[in-house]
Amino acid sequence: MSGVDAHTHAFPDSLAERAIAKLESECPWKAPGDGTVGGLLESMDAADLDISLVCAIATKPDQTDGIFKWCKSIRSDRIEPLPSLHPDTEKKDKWVRKFAKAGFAGMKLHPMYQEFPLDDERMDELYSAAADEGLFISPHCGLDIAYPPDDDRASPERMRRVIDRHPNLTVLCTHLGGWKSWDEVEKHLIGTDVYMETSFTVQYLPPERLVDMIRRHGTDKVLFGTDWPWARQDTELAEFKKLPLTQQETDDILYRNAAKLLGY
């Protein structure tokens, strides 16, 4: 195995173009990828990546079943989809059990697009069920370029409250615990028992600080991620490989830790 991308997004072919255009209209960003599963696979081939985790986001409660079915349809030996539950989905615990029974390893959450703070008590049912079923959650963490800089719904401090309330819950924090919130990450999350992934960190953090944070958190708890289609996988991988990490540390982050999280 050469590499796993722990953070990508894709949409059904019939929706991808419209979805990307809408998301681009909400932020000063242009996606280098087309948002389709086929486009993702081509990107993975170009970057020599074996597997990508595809994160779905249910922005309405009635999207849960459709996303679940779509995730089942795209799952393969190279695509590991993460279905999603909206905070207002009824019987969240039963949906979590359904995800687990179907063989999914985890689920995706995004506090901004789903309109909830990470430590919202409405989510305790989901968090408890995920912990009981052995599913991890992968929430967006930190700021989001499409939302105001004072939007703290995905803050590291809120994430810390969640893991304190649910110590058996497995969490994969995106953007090394919190995009553009890394001072808070160091205060609240570094060294805790959560996984983190590296998307949108290499170009925002000085290499020395990034490597220091990775090592202090634990190189056995960090995964490589890109957030494709919003970043090029080949470019992100090339920049990551420039970091002053040992070969053992690099290999752990590129695929061994992901294999452990996914149960391979």
Identify whether the C-beta of residue 89 lies closer than 8 Å to the C-beta of residue 68: no
Mean pLDDT by 10 residues, the chain (264 residues): 94 92 85 96 97 97 96 98 96 97 98 97 96 98 95 98 98 98 98 98 96 98 98 97 97 97 92
For the chain, domain boundaries: 4-262
pLDDT of residue 28: 82
pLDDT of residue 112: 97
pLDDT of residue 172: 98
Give the neighbor-by-neighbor strand order of the sheet with 4-8.
4-8, 51-55, 79-82
- Please state which of the four CATH numbers 3.20.20.140, 3.40.50.2300, 3.40.50.720, 3.30.460.10 is assigned to the domain occupying 4-262: 3.20.20.140
pLDDT of residue 128: 98
First-to-last alpha carbon distance for the chain, in angstroms, is 11
